[in-house]
Structure 1
Amino acid sequence: MKPLTTSELFLPLTIAPAQVQRGWGILAQAPELITAYGRKPLIIGGQQAQAALKPYFANLQNSDLIPAWGSPVQDCSEPTLGILATELAAHSGDVIIGVGGGKALDTAKLVAQRAKLPIVTIPTSGATCAAWTALSNVYNSAGAFQYDVALDHCPNLLLLDYQLIATAPQRTLIAGIGDALAKWYEASISSGHSQHTLIIAAVQQARVLRDLLLQKSSEALQEIGGPAWQEVVDATVLMAGMIGGLGGAQCRTVAAHAVHNGLTHLSLTKQSLHGEKVAYGILAQLRLEELIQGSHLAASSRQQLLSFYREIGLPTTLSDLGLGDISLRELETAATQACLPTSDIHHLPFTVTPAELMAAMISTTAETTAMARANSKEGLA
């Protein structure tokens, strides 16, 4: 095992938000809870997320809060960050509230970091763990991934209201399941042989997370608001974030997220959610392990996931991501972006080229499509 360098040993860990409040209807207490961090919040989120939050800030006679609503967020991009920084200064804001999905929350966290202000996160779905993490992903104005930013700390306060999450489209939680599953498949291969205590703990928790999702997701999706649903929401929003915080920089994202990042450079994938692209990226990563390492375990894991994906509605092919007519040149663009020198794909224990990644993506899609057709014919027989 390669020992950690001195700089790696003394990296600060940003494990968790300072405070997490969760429950049904917890947002009724939001103004009171937020005043502990500031009086003049700038509320950052997408248009729908802001509209969902406004009723909770409609009557502030008994509160010291004077909120302002930032311009609606579409992507966490530098132009958007600049606009919001200007609005924050005009409001003389002293705390940031991020509400919505991953891109809105990443935007809010990064605005807060740059302004050196406290940050409160309010997720509106179970689609990502962005409400928990000390990380922001930055995209260009077209939605293509550019780079990520490690933040100084996790949010000061995370408000998880199951009542609000339950109003989100079911597709968002399915995508969150795909995103959270990647914790195991990526961390286990990048850090699975570590002998460092906290990394071992993070990887093992990722395994527990995977098992929980495989066992409870189907039941959770059948009864929105039920006990299994609540456990799965906790898993996708809270537990997935905790694993990343506990493992730190040594418990890495790998090919699944790299494939996502590459696919964002194709305009057709704007219609698919972050977790859907990551879920497909897991299949591509396992296929790489099969092709390059001859891993029978990876082959078995991929077959297990294909069955699970079909059961809950995660994408198994490029067609499922809206890329049924993708050209080889377009696929090469995505693969090249996924294999840039700074890409997380290079945390795999073997070298991957764009051509090898293309082969993995094409072959897993072709194999899965053929299997689906065969099953369909058997069903008609």
Structure 2
Amino acid sequence: MPNQSLPELSTQTAPSLFSLMVAPGRVLRGQRALEQAGDAIATFGRRPLVVGGDRTLSVTLPRLQLALKQQKTDIAQASYSPDCSTRSLESLRKAVTDHQADVIIGIGGGKALDTAKLLAHQCQLPVVTIPTSGATCAAWTALSNVYSDEGAFLYDVSLDRCPDLLVLDYELIQTAPQRTLIAGIGDALAKWYEASVSSGHSDQTLMIAAVQQARVLRDILFQKAAAALKEPGSEVWREVVDASVLLAGVIGGLGGAQCRTVAAHAVHNGLTHIPAAHGAIHGEKVAYGILVQLRLEEMLQSNQLAATARQQLLKFYAEIGLPQTLDDLGLGNITLGEFRQAAEIACAPNSDIHRLPFRVVPEQLMAAMISTTAPVEVGRPNLGLTSATNHNDV
């Protein structure tokens, strides 16, 4: 039999390897989903450490204990207070060791879930997320935001996977103040306005899919949000919760970091450094940031589509109760120094605001921040920056 030589190895450089964290390993959703999730949770471990805020733990832990009663688990709890911060995470890692935890369960809003995910990442443990409101998509994503103990945004951390299990209990979500779902609608809307800027011209298949899903998400919220807020617990309300918590997460998973945040979240990050802004929740600041981003495009690019989109959003915000101005965020009396500090942080060299197709400096951002409700300025001259784009078509 003739010798068969091995094929020669290619001398071409192998393509870069990209890792996508698209979705949780499993999603359980429905009325009283938490009570029915015991078996699924127990597959990850029998010594869970439950992470949440003090008030949330006092309300939800009895329901979780009941769900896990048949699985004979040994549950411990720990508060993430004061924030998803380095100090909190250090304390929680000690709690993991003391309890010999084999799974982390995060219960609460975005910061509680971010803390639980990052803790699990650091300890190399599985994580279960149980959102108690529709305020963000944090229950879904492979990302955690880290803050100072005082609540100022510092940086985000990309995680090696999405949560192993997400339990979306509509009855639990319904107990949260309606304001949280309104904020979640604002946070989810940003997916379109930011993804279309950062990735709207991409020819990559998954990026195209993410941007188009962001458009679908925006349209669902425009069509259904007002009705949902009038009928908590109804089918249309559940659809809006799914959109804000689940579909918003899908978009970030498909598109990755390049399809995640631009100016709206950069504005949020800057505002968190103003103590008075802590009275506004994440999605409210992001929703205001969308208006700022559109105002920048309008002012610096003569982008009439951005101007039209801003007017459309102002009408929608008024209908459902999202903030339109600094006053609406409780920031009408901030000092000039605080205002400038927020703008400078939002325009820092590593800020996502630089995903905009033009340069922005703090003075321009401040001008946009105080004019989010300004009338459309027809025929305003372009300031010599890149030509207007059409990613904000309405």
Q: What TM-score bracket applies, with the shorter chain setting the length?
A: over 0.9
Q: Aligned residue for 1:37?
A: 44
User: Given that residues 34 and 64 in structure 2 are in contact (C-alpha distance below 8 angstroms), is that contact kept between their aligned partners in structure 1?
Assistant: no
Q: How does 1:78-157 map to 2 (within 5 A)?
A: 78-157=86-165
Q: Distance in 1 between matches of 2:124 and 2:366?
A: 42
- Kept after mapping to 1: 8 A contact 2:28/2:37: no
Give distance in 2, aligned partners of 1:58 and 1:129. 25
Q: Secondary structure at the match of 1:219?
A: helix
Alpha-carbon displacement from aligned partner over 1:263-317 (angstroms, at most 9, x marks no partner):
0000001100000000000000000001111100000000000000000000001
CA 1:182–1:84 in structure 2 vs 1: closer, same or farther (change >3 Å)? same
2: CA distance between counterparts of 1:254 and 1:243?
Answer: 14
Shift of 1:113: 0.1
Give the Cα–Cα distance (whole angstroms) in 1 for the partners of residues 267 and 15 of structure 2.
Answer: 26
Partner of residue 373, structure 1: none
User: Partners of 1:307 and 1:7 in 2: how far apart?
Assistant: 51
1:284 aligned residue: 292
Q: Deviations over 1:187-220 (max 9, x none)?
A: 0011000000000000000000000001100000
- Structure 1 residue 29, shift from structure 2 partner: 2.0
Alignment of 1:223-372 (within 5 A): 223-365=231-373
Deviation of 1:75 after TM superposition, in Å, equals: 1.3
1:47 aligned partner: 54
Asked if the contact 1:272/1:321 (under 8 Å) is kept, the reply is yes
What is the aligned partner in structure 2 of residue 158 from structure 1?
Answer: 166
C-alpha spacing 1:8/1:261, structure 2 compared with 1 (3 Å): farther
Change (3 A) 1:9 1:234: farther
Residue 35 of structure 2 corresponds to: 28
| Higher fraction of helix | 1
Deviation per CA, 1:237-287: give whole Å up to 9, x if none.
000000000011221300000000000000001100000000000000000
Any stretches of 5+ residues in structure 2 without a counterpart? 1-12, 377-394
Give aligned pairs, total: 363
Counterpart of 2:47, as a letter, is K
For residue 15 of structure 1, what is the aligned residue in structure 2?
22
Q: Deviations over 1:311-343 (max 9, x none)?
A: 000000100000111222211110000011111
Which ranges in structure 1 are unaligned for 5 or more consecutive residues? 1-5, 369-381
Which whole-Å CA distance do the structure 2 matches of 1:7 and 1:34 have between them? Answer: 40
- 2:258, 2:104 → 1: CA distance? 29
Q: Distance in 1 between matches of 2:328 and 2:21?
A: 35
Q: Does 1:179 align with 2:187?
A: yes
CA contact (8 A) 2:107 2:130 kept: yes
How far off its partner does 1:52 sit? 2.6
Once the two structures are TM-superposed, the CA of residue 139 in structure 1 deviates from its matched residue by: 0.3
Corresponding residue of 1:203: 211
Normalised by the length of structure 2, the TM-score is 0.90
- Residue 287 of structure 1 aligns with an amino acid whose one-letter code is R
In the TM superposition, structure 1's runs of 4+ consecutive aligned residues that sit over 6 Å from their partners are: none
More displaced stretch, 28-37 vs 75-84: 28-37
2-structure distance, mates of 1:287, 1:26: 42
Residue 372 of structure 2: SS of its match in structure 1?
helix
Q: 2:51–2:80: 8 Å Cα contact kept in structure 1?
A: yes
Q: Residue in 2 aligned with 1:189?
A: 197
Partner Cα separation in structure 1 for residue 286 and residue 69 of structure 2 = 44
User: Cα–Cα, structure 1 residues 157 and 61, in superposed 2: closer, same or farther, change >3 Å?
Assistant: closer
The aligned residue for residue 376 of structure 1 is none
**Does 50-59 or 272-281 show the bigger shift?**
50-59
CA offsets per residue over residues 73-114 of structure 1, 9 Å max, x none?
341000000110001100000000000000000000000000
CA distance in 1, matches of 2:275, 2:374: 22
Match for 1:76: what amino acid?
Answer: C
Task: Write the letter of the residue equivalent to 2:59.
Answer: A
1:321 match: secondary structure:
coil
CA distance in 1, matches of 2:254, 2:353: 21
> Deviation at 1:351?
0.7
Indicate if the aligned counterparts of 1:31 and 1:65 stay in contact, CA closer than 8 A. no
| Contact preservation (8 Å) 1:74, 1:103 | no
Q: Distance in 2 between matches of 1:242 and 1:321?
A: 28
* 3-state SS, counterpart of residue 83 of structure 2: coil
Kept in 1, the 8 Å contact 2:80–2:89? The answer is no
- CA change 1:223–1:204 in 2 (3 A) is same
Asked whether the equivalents of residues 136 and 245 of structure 2 are also in contact (C-alpha less than 8 Å), the reply is yes
